[in-house]
Chain A
Amino acid sequence: MSQALRTPSGGRINRARTVRFTFDGRELTGFEGDTLASALLANDVHLVGRSFKYHRPRGVLTAGPEEPSALVAIRRDAARVTPNLRATEVELYEGLVAESQNRWPSLKLDVGAVSGLLSPFIPAGFYYKTFMWPRRAWQWLYEPKIRAAAGLGRAPEHPDPDSYSNRFAHCDVLIVGGGPAGLAAAHAAAESGARIILCEQQPQLGGSLLSETDPGAALGDGEWLSRTIQGLMNHPRVTVLTRTTAFGYFPHNLIGLEQRLTEHLAQPDPRQPRERQWQVRAKEVLLATGAIERPLVFPGNDRPGILLAGAARSYLNRYGVLAGRRAVLLTASDEAYRSALDLHRAGVTIAAIVDVRPQAAGELPEAARRAGLPLHTAATVVGTTGRLRVQGIRIQRLDAQGQPQGAAERIACDLVLMSGGHTPSVHLFSQSRGKLHWNEALQAFLPGQSPEKARCAGACRGIFSAEAARRDGESAGALAARDAGLAIGAIIREPPLLEAAGAAVPGELPQPAGRPAIKAFVDWQNDVTSRDLSLAAREGFRSIEHIKRYTTTGMATDQGKISNLNALGIVARQIGKAIPEVGLTTFRMPYTPVTFGSFAGYARGELFDPVRTTPIHDWAVHEGAVFEDVGLWKRARYFPRNGESMHAAVNRECQSVRTSCGLFDASTLGKIEVVGKDAVTFMNRLYINSWTSLAVGRCRYGILLRDDGFVYDDGIVARIAEDRFHVTTTTGGAARVLAMMEDYLQTEWRDLSVWLTSTTEQWAVIAVQGPGARHVLEGLVQDVDLSAAALPHMSVAPGRICGVPMRLFRVSFTGELGFEINVPADFGAAVWEAVYEAGRPHGITPYGTEAMHVLRAEKGYIIVGQDTDGTVTPDDAGLAWAAGTRKSDFVGKRALERPVMHGPERKQLVGLLTAEPHVVLEEGAQIVPDARVTPPTRPIGHVTSSYYSATLGRSIALALVRAGRERMGQTLYVPMPGGNLSVQVVSPVFYDPKGSRQNA
């Protein structure tokens, strides 16, 4: 029969709208307004999943986001499978497809449950203890097996097709929680003139009142709830966000909100974002996050059909669902009696109320007695029965000392309601770095002072009754508005009215001496039992943070919402300390899991990162260039012709540069204009070189160190005028070099009159390199004499090209006669095309970064960051000649004076030639001095650059090798999987060591 456990009437579901769904392929129905959990329970389905470690059958435990147990995957299509959703939060929609997790081959027959049989042998810290040795077995045995057996759910196998939105917002008061306290606070603050954002994780406002059959009775005001909600919805200063979880509290009152927009829809509009993540900066934050019921810890407390008492009451009153037919209530507080009374009225047989306390004399226990419900005080639970569903419990009486005695009595039931009292939800408050104080009467941690502008109201500060929480919210809301700067009169906030009725001592229920409880679960999601915690304490763990990590209690995605306090109680008892002395583990964000998609937001695909392109980019695209990413830049890597391979294209491009002429887009080079009367002093202090002697119109290869003496950047620096330098940096280093320059200028050398301007994107840089370069430019350049005498290697001249203003550099990163034409970026493409046309009779060939790398390596020119790694000095790189020896100081000079910076064992840049000329070494490969050594051994260096050189007809490599310059001619070895490769140490300059070509 369909929905056998649905009540004939009542609840907040829409009985006119039947909703069909499937669970593990089984077709079921529920009503609009159901959660997946309530609909499953209405169909008498309690078995929902298998547990993490022992694969124990598990069911629905709670009715809210704290659910650790009923975790399911929701499948829309192959790409839209969301694992580990809490069935208690999943809103039912037509056609919903839900699947259980962590079971094989089926939920009812799970092979993995065998590890449950072995469970006495899987104690706390099992992974640490058992799998330590042999270490190699981790790779092929332990890790794959553990990974297969553990974990919850499976990630979807396709890219996420949904879109996600981000939004920033500001408000006077952000209110988290739409229960009686939050609603009253929002109303009061809005009436005071504050701009409000109210967020509520559930689809409806009302909080705990939604689980009352008559919310008006709970408040003494029948219309309050609907009137307040209506008022807030229509209020011009109030933004109400439902289905929105405040997942994180960040410094300076920034709160992360996760708004679920389409999860509840049967057929979402594909144009609508699935979720929206809000970053709300609030002047004041008001937390009305409620409280969470604590389970009781006793043997076999995890069977399907064992629920929190308040959850069962929610299912009845809110969803019209009876969670069973014959129930037992286990409690340590009066409050939970409400559940038994409500279920009794709805027709459920209450087989017993088992109250751990010696007496139960309050109003609610009296009502239970009047209703004739069998009440056992001073009793405990020593076990449960049932495999896939609870079938009974065994209880034992407690003597005056609270010890179980006498024979156990079995009570048959198909539903167990338990309640250990309520734990205030202080997660967000604690994330705000607010201090918590232990309250002995409530047996709970309550919020104290926060360094942030945060305050709490209602159950999250221990004020549990709806009416008291409403009044507390009202005054808190007005206070928040006042503290947000709104002028309002005096506000009186009553001291919290703490009702101790719900206070059970956290921990484990009493068990017979000498019979320690087994399978008394504390943490449902991570399968941690009271025995695991006791064992950890016995093994000497004292810090709760260590015990948490050792046992993994509270470390699952539920973050121990229902388990932390019980774990603390058990540990405290075991080590003989009070709970507040043991302390509390840190609450971390997110409060409930947040999808990665919402963090990524719009920043995916083309919007993931900005893309930087040069003025010549479109031309290169048109010419069929293959691009590579260099930082954010797109750079042409090579220009294949007629389906050439990269290797063939690079060989051709290199040979063109060496024999005729090549054309290269160097626009990505970082460029900084250093201007001012103290520009030369500034450059002298910063770079290792001497700049005083650099004449206007000349260039120098500059090296920049950090003050630790290691190479940071390099580049050509031209002196444009006495007080003006055109500094170039590496492509990737432009921003950090400018930042470093600004740092020294603004903070250390404030006496200098210098201005720095990034001109990277203002200049297009067109490199024309090769023996034919001068001929190509002759007809295009005006106002500059290109002859070697007038414009020698390493000089610069202003002029015009194609009528456009230009800085013409005579420089070479290839070792050939070379020019770098700098023109304003807007003219870059036109000048490039003009140079290309003029060069065609001379065989001009565009080349990319790959050929550029080969050409520079043939000349032994380093690339900072490839041939250096942050531990390389100028001397290590063979560049000591660049340092201005007469300078008393420059950045890095003092560090270079330390003996260790020029000791004999330093790694130095050398060239390597493989014995086999066609073998190209792998960059990053290690180098050893002896062919016979076997790992582990200490390498003496590594390959930094390695290419095939078409010009030389063989491979070449650069390497950093310990005492490398003393090893010229030596044979070293590069161990590779196929065996050692032997290499000879040579000069890093492979081509034209005298430099006659670039001086032509």
Chain B
Amino acid sequence: MLLISCPYCGERPELEFVHGGQAHIARPGDPSACSDQQWADYLYRRDNIKGVHAERWRHTHGCGRFFNALRDTTSDHFLATYKVGEPPPAQAQAQAQLRKATT
């Protein structure tokens, strides 16, 4: 069971959370302007990353808030959690790359 740091509540066990899939996939502002392919990509296409992955979590059995996280899928370690609307912390990305380079 992962330990997840909710940006609002702090560190809590995974069973209080629900995973919400890949982060930073915005719903197109004008869906009718999308081609079928673009809409299908929005609905279904997701990355399957070996390494640092930006993903959504919801602290369902806690504050109820959605937030984003950077998680290294090879180690399950979180590099950062951050609020909706915030960009993924670049620092964490850099750290991850550094870690990769050294291992």
Residues of A bordering B, CB below 8 Å: 250-252, 254, 279, 281, 433, 449, 451-452, 707-708, 739, 742-743, 746-748, 750, 888-889, 893-895, 897-898
Report if B50 contacts A (CB, 8 A): no
Interface residues of B in 49-103 (CB under 8 A from A): 56, 58, 60, 64-66, 74-77, 84-85, 103
B32 CB contact (under 8 Å) in A452, A708, A888: A888
Q: Are B58 and A739 in contact (CB under 8 A)?
A: yes
Q: Are A707 and B65 in contact (CB under 8 A)?
A: no
CB<8 Å pairs between A and B, sample of 24: A251-B76, A279-B1, A281-B3, A433-B75, A451-B76, A451-B77, A707-B43, A739-B18, A739-B58, A739-B60, A743-B20, A746-B66, A746-B84, A747-B56, A747-B84, A748-B26, A750-B84, A750-B85, A889-B32, A893-B31, A893-B32, A894-B31, A898-B36, A898-B39
Report if B2 contacts A (CB, 8 A): yes
Q: How far is the CA of A747 from the CA of B26 in the complex (A)?
A: 9
- Chain A residues lying within 8 Å of B2, measured Cβ to Cβ, are 251-252
- Chain A residues lying within 8 Å of B103, measured Cβ to Cβ, are 449
- Mark interface residues in B13-45 (1 if CB within 8 Å of A CB, else 0): 000001010000011001110101001001100
Q: Are B39 and A894 in contact (CB under 8 A)?
A: yes
- Chain A residues lying within 8 Å of B27, measured Cβ to Cβ, are 707, 748
Beyond A451-B75, A739-B60, A893-B31, 16 additional pairs, beta carbon < 8 A: A251-B1, A251-B2, A252-B2, A279-B1, A281-B3, A433-B74, A451-B77, A452-B75, A707-B42, A708-B43, A746-B65, A746-B66, A747-B66, A747-B84, A895-B39, A898-B36
B76 CB contact (under 8 Å) in A252, A747, A894: A252
- Chain B residues lying within 8 Å of A279, measured Cβ to Cβ, are 1
- Chain B residues lying within 8 Å of A739, measured Cβ to Cβ, are 18, 58, 60
- Chain A residues lying within 8 Å of B65, measured Cβ to Cβ, are 746
Name the residue of chain B whose CB is nearest to the CB of A897.
B32
- Chain B residues lying within 8 Å of A449, measured Cβ to Cβ, are 103
Q: How far is the CA of A739 from the CA of B59 in the complex (A)?
A: 11
- Chain A residues lying within 8 Å of B42, measured Cβ to Cβ, are 707
Residues of B bordering A, CB below 8 Å: 1-3, 18, 20, 26-27, 30-32, 34, 36, 39, 42-43, 56, 58, 60, 64-66, 74-77, 84-85, 103
Q: A451-B74, A707-B43 are in contact. Are A894 and B34 (CB under 8 A)?
A: yes
Q: How far is the CA of A130 from the CA of B39 in the complex (A)?
A: 49
Nearest-neighbour CB distance to chain B for A437, whole angstroms, equals 13
- Chain A residues lying within 8 Å of B66, measured Cβ to Cβ, are 742-743, 746-747
Nearest-neighbour CB distance to chain B for A932, whole angstroms, equals 39
- Chain B residues lying within 8 Å of A281, measured Cβ to Cβ, are 3
A254 CB contact (under 8 Å) in B1, B20, B43: B1
Q: Are B3 and A895 in contact (CB under 8 A)?
A: no
Nearest-neighbour CB distance to chain B for A741, whole angstroms, equals 11
Name the residue of chain A whose CB is nearest to the CB of B64.
A742
Nearest-neighbour CB distance to chain A for B14, whole angstroms, equals 9
Q: How far is the CA of A742 from the CA of B62 in the complex (A)?
A: 14
Nearest-neighbour CB distance to chain A for B19, whole angstroms, equals 12
Nearest-neighbour CB distance to chain A for B26, whole angstroms, equals 7
Name the residue of chain A whose CB is nearest to the CB of B44.
A708
- Chain A residues lying within 8 Å of B75, measured Cβ to Cβ, are 433, 451-452
Name the residue of chain A whose CB is nearest to the CB of B18.
A739
Q: How far is the CA of A746 from the CA of B76 in the complex (A)?
A: 26
Name the residue of chain B whose CB is nearest to the CB of A750.
B85
Q: A251-B76, A707-B43, A746-B66 are in contact. Are A894 and B32 (CB under 8 A)?
A: yes
- Chain A residues lying within 8 Å of B74, measured Cβ to Cβ, are 433, 451
Interface centre among B1, B60, B74 (most CB of A within 10 A): B1
Name the residue of chain A whose CB is nearest to the CB of B11.
A252
- Chain B residues lying within 8 Å of A746, measured Cβ to Cβ, are 65-66, 84
Q: How far is the CA of A895 from the CA of B74 in the complex (A)?
A: 35
Q: How far is the CA of A433 from the CA of B73 in the complex (A)?
A: 12
Q: Are B32 and A252 in contact (CB under 8 A)?
A: no
Name the residue of chain A whose CB is nearest to the CB of B83.
A746
Nearest-neighbour CB distance to chain B for A871, whole angstroms, equals 14
B43 CB contact (under 8 Å) in A747, A748, A895: A895
Q: Are A889 and B1 in contact (CB under 8 A)?
A: no
Q: How far is the CA of A491 from the CA of B43 in the complex (A)?
A: 55
Query: Shortest 9 CB-CB distances between A and B: which pairs?
Result: A451-B75, A894-B31, A251-B76, A252-B3, A746-B66, A748-B27, A747-B84, A894-B39, A254-B1
- Chain A residues lying within 8 Å of B76, measured Cβ to Cβ, are 251-252, 451
Q: How far is the CA of A747 from the CA of B82 in the complex (A)?
A: 13
- Chain B residues lying within 8 Å of A747, measured Cβ to Cβ, are 56, 66, 84
Interface centre among B2, B27, B60, B103 (most CB of A within 10 A): B27
Q: How far is the CA of A230 from the CA of B83 in the complex (A)?
A: 51
Nearest-neighbour CB distance to chain A for B24, whole angstroms, equals 10
Name the residue of chain B whose CB is nearest to the CB of A451.
B75
Q: How far is the CA of A888 from the CA of B33 in the complex (A)?
A: 11
Nearest-neighbour CB distance to chain A for B83, whole angstroms, equals 10
Nearest-neighbour CB distance to chain B for A717, whole angstroms, equals 22
Nearest-neighbour CB distance to chain A for B77, whole angstroms, equals 6
Name the residue of chain A whose CB is nearest to the CB of B72.
A451
Q: How far is the CA of A433 from the CA of B75 in the complex (A)?
A: 7
- Chain A residues lying within 8 Å of B43, measured Cβ to Cβ, are 707-708, 895
- Chain A residues lying within 8 Å of B36, measured Cβ to Cβ, are 898
Nearest-neighbour CB distance to chain B for A902, whole angstroms, equals 14
Q: How far is the CA of A773 from the CA of B39 in the complex (A)?
A: 49
Q: How far is the CA of A465 from the CA of B10 in the complex (A)?
A: 45
Q: How far is the CA of A747 from the CA of B23 in the complex (A)?
A: 10
- Chain A residues lying within 8 Å of B77, measured Cβ to Cβ, are 252, 451
Nearest-neighbour CB distance to chain A for B54, whole angstroms, equals 13
- Chain B residues lying within 8 Å of A708, measured Cβ to Cβ, are 43
Name the residue of chain B whose CB is nearest to the CB of A254.
B1
- Chain B residues lying within 8 Å of A897, measured Cβ to Cβ, are 32
- Chain B residues lying within 8 Å of A743, measured Cβ to Cβ, are 20, 58, 66
Q: How far is the CA of A451 from the CA of B75 in the complex (A)?
A: 6
Q: Are A889 and B84 in contact (CB under 8 A)?
A: no
Q: How far is the CA of A592 from the CA of B24 in the complex (A)?
A: 42
- Chain B residues lying within 8 Å of A894, measured Cβ to Cβ, are 31-32, 34, 39
Name the residue of chain A whose CB is nearest to the CB of B42.
A707
- Chain A residues lying within 8 Å of B85, measured Cβ to Cβ, are 750
Nearest-neighbour CB distance to chain B for A567, whole angstroms, equals 27
Q: How far is the CA of A195 from the CA of B20 in the complex (A)?
A: 36
Nearest-neighbour CB distance to chain B for A76, whole angstroms, equals 33
Interface centre among A252, A451, A897 (most CB of B within 10 A): A252
- Chain B residues lying within 8 Å of A893, measured Cβ to Cβ, are 31-32
Q: Are A250 and B84 in contact (CB under 8 A)?
A: no
Q: How far is the CA of A298 from the CA of B100 in the complex (A)?
A: 45
Nearest-neighbour CB distance to chain A for B87, whole angstroms, equals 14
Nearest-neighbour CB distance to chain B for A284, whole angstroms, equals 15
Q: How far is the CA of A893 from the CA of B31 in the complex (A)?
A: 8
Q: How far is the CA of A490 from the CA of B36 in the complex (A)?
A: 64
Q: How far is the CA of A433 from the CA of B74 in the complex (A)?
A: 9
- Chain A residues lying within 8 Å of B3, measured Cβ to Cβ, are 252, 281
Name the residue of chain A whose CB is nearest to the CB of B34.
A894
Nearest-neighbour CB distance to chain B for A993, whole angstroms, equals 35
Q: How far is the CA of A742 from the CA of B56 in the complex (A)?
A: 13
Q: Are B18 and A252 in contact (CB under 8 A)?
A: no
Q: How far is the CA of A888 from the CA of B32 in the complex (A)?
A: 8
Q: How far is the CA of A898 from the CA of B77 in the complex (A)?
A: 40
Nearest-neighbour CB distance to chain B for A315, whole angstroms, equals 40
Nearest-neighbour CB distance to chain B for A484, whole angstroms, equals 15
Q: How far is the CA of A708 from the CA of B44 in the complex (A)?
A: 9
Nearest-neighbour CB distance to chain B for A883, whole angstroms, equals 14
Q: How far is the CA of A897 from the CA of B84 in the complex (A)?
A: 30
Nearest-neighbour CB distance to chain A for B49, whole angstroms, equals 16
Q: How far is the CA of A893 from the CA of B30 in the complex (A)?
A: 11
Q: Are A889 and B60 in contact (CB under 8 A)?
A: no
Nearest-neighbour CB distance to chain B for A653, whole angstroms, equals 38
A252 CB contact (under 8 Å) in B1, B31, B34, B84: B1
Q: How far is the CA of A739 from the CA of B30 in the complex (A)?
A: 23
Interface centre among A451, A893, A898 (most CB of B within 10 A): A451
Nearest-neighbour CB distance to chain B for A759, whole angstroms, equals 15
